[in-house]
Structure 1
Amino acid sequence: MSFAKSPKNTGLQREVMKWLQSLELSFHWRNVRRDFSNGYLVAEILSRYYPQDFLVHSYDKGTSLSAKQRNWSQIERSLQKQNLHLMKEIIDGSIHCKPGAAELLVQEVYTILTNRSIRDVEGPESDFTDQEYQELLPTLARSTASKAIKNNLRITEIMAEPDISTNKWKAEVILHRHLEQRAADRVLNPGRFKGKPNLGRLAAKHPEPSSRRGECFASSRDTSSKFCFSSTWSGAAVSFKEIKVHQPVRRSLVNY
């Protein structure tokens, strides 16, 4: 791993990157969000400071959800022996590869083990969503409502917490935040969201003269019939023929 890589691309401060290289880990991480999600590298880092409590060979290198949960559960138990702890929200966000969670996790581990503070670090109150990334995109390239839910509600979250009500609530929170962002975009860019008239609206309207609306006249061939122009049709006149039917009177079959 080259240290010429800027912290902007990795999400880590340069001092944290130098510290990680000094530990001579078993493999070089390339993607913070992916490589630190299962907890194996975190356990290996902690073993450099507490070798008796963090035995690297007892941790799984797998990337399945069950492997991640076992590793992190073991890490939390070992940290408690040293009166150390990591925020549960950061751990869960790292397990599910949420944006910014793994970066914050590594920096928290660095602070705990070295007693050094890092400047300009995003606080633990982050909700670990892609909102910051979406705001950097042009309005046309931003996620739709369904894409926003897919990006911010991972499949591993649903597997870890299969309760339908909980997952429904999470989806509603994401959707509400997305709609709020769309509403803000409409205020900032009203011209882009202005609807365009269709051909029907653009077509010229020629209303029928009022003198012919509801006008009726008799047929020259049949005096019992007459034609009427509808007063509700604004375009071409439509004629309706009125036909009078004379039915014979039926005689009563009852003799008086």
Structure 2
Amino acid sequence: MKTKRAFRYVGTPDPMSDKEAYHCEKYIKKNRHSLVRAGQYLVDVTALQALFHLDCWNCRTVHRETCCEGGQPYAIEEWQIPIVEGEIPSISAGLQDEAERNHWLLHGVWDRNEPQGTIRMRHGNCLFYQENNGRYGCAIHAYAEQAGRDVEPLKPFSCQLYPIDLIDIRDGILLTAVTNETSSFSRWGTDYLEQFYCASPARRKLATHIDDKLFALDGYRPAYEWNLPLLRYILQDDAERIEGILANSYQLER
């Protein structure tokens, strides 16, 4: 008897639970008529038009901690491991703390007790969450920008993807975003929707104690627009077609 291949999150070897897969399959069946097929992709136009404002540099100003704190990203896939390892000497050279730099070089960046490609924790955070010129953020991203390198092949896939999600559904790939309807199976869960202003214009509108310039209401735009460089990198030949579908649908709804 042929085994039914499980749904999985694209870009990581970390498994999708049976419960998440169940909710994903249920969602697809319920919304089948509104999903648009484009090559191997099943485009969730409605979710990808959900409004977000990734005012990330100001996240720590309005929240107790950012999404990069208190954990590590999903493990990266096997193909990305040697790429990241090859850049570690250059990335670590940009660290301001010499002791931290030596720690990286001595112990490496991988958690050997977890699945391959899992990044180590350091002081309760992802190892790459580091200070750079007085601000905290991803050391990989900072290195890519300073060195004029493309960030897409270097930074852990899941760290670049939010608020979008890509899910292998056996007969294709669901391209969606985290919303109240998709959170039961999205790799992002419910935390962003419940706790962070970036995912909720309605919640931000109620936060009258915050300066209007922080996560400004006029800065919210469709989820897919925040990830266009990454989407073009991932989707390749299908990118222009899918981007056209999303742009046209958004204009029609306005």
State TM-score, norm by structure 2.
0.25
- Give the greater-gyration-radius structure (CA): 1
> Which one has more relative contact order, counting CA pairs under 8 Å at least 6 apart?
2
Question: Is the strand fraction higher in 1 or 2?
Answer: 2
State TM-score, norm by structure 1.
0.25
